[in-house]
Structure 1
């Protein structure tokens, strides 16, 4: 029996990177997993690629296309998982974006783009997950993706930092409100992780003059990591599976830092 055997989970932002790794780790531990992402074709491919993994561990896999800022689509995603698996036990609000701009150049469009997905998307995801869990009457777990940027501001990703501070606040607020329904709300805060998102951020930082060559931004951001290297997605999933499991049942309102010792708070 795996740590999350019999649990039905949804992971947003699961077509690549940390989200995909979270879902695959849950499958390895026996969970049923709905991989969800705005990229419908890519997330369908991810689910198909994990069919054998799910069967091997005794779970099921499905997928859903979702824009996390659209409440109707989020409801449809949750309903799909509930019908497919019979219930929804755990929801990871992991979908997120970043688009670096130097502080004095940040525009209203840049702010809204990032805050809508990273902030509003988490709020909607929490609310709709909670509605499903309350209707089931058996409690549940909501897990939100924060960041080291939720602990300190950086000059060329200010809206991203603000959005991840919002994730921390939403996690705490949700934990207080949903405890009476036996729903826990936790989160985790990755540092520098070698993913497709970081590759895109690296290119964006070069385009605004914040770095001069490929890989420079990651090198500079990770220079103070006590573990001496950037993270791989697998470095994150031990914690995320723990947060989805019964082992974390007495935790709520907390954000777990997984940054290799980059930010000590």
Structure 2
């Protein structure tokens, strides 16, 4: 079965396209495929395929790395990408701190380089991606008022889960998933975990986690899922150990 947008969603998408149009000309920027992927996105792409997801609401889109994964998972999925892409954020320094190249850092440091780079990265997917340059959670009320009914919501913005309950209130039928399961705050705590656990307990839902990715589900993880997740975790640990050994050997050779 090939998913298609409902009449309500199509009307909301048409309105969003009017409010948040793509520029007429492609920005004078190079594509930058810097994706903050901590692992586990395969769970989301699997959900997209198996649940015939046609509309995704992504909150916190950065440079569009995760969106490319969603588009690759289904030829008919549409994405409403919500992010303020603030011009005030020193993304150049952030890029340097995250071991990005000088070219990447300089481009992101250009005027409005954050948003312009996102547009460049997704330029060939304008028919399936709507960049909503707004702050969440305020924009979520407007999206709901428009009649938008996403099949899946991917949360990757504030790292502390403040939007989980609101998303459920506004879009109760959406699959809820997100990033940053392993992200730690200044106190060394993984801030996203408590609100996700609390939500699952309150609404009698089940949690599936792999590395940085989490999914709130109506059904418990299957045995096949648990085995697959365990195998992937073993492979990830093996890769990390191999990398650590190689890094240690390089330091010893340099010394």
Which structure is larger by alpha-carbon Rg, 1 or 2? Answer: 2
| More helix by percentage | 1
- The two structures have a TM-score, normalised by structure 1, of 0.45
Q: TM-score, normalised by structure 2?
A: 0.47
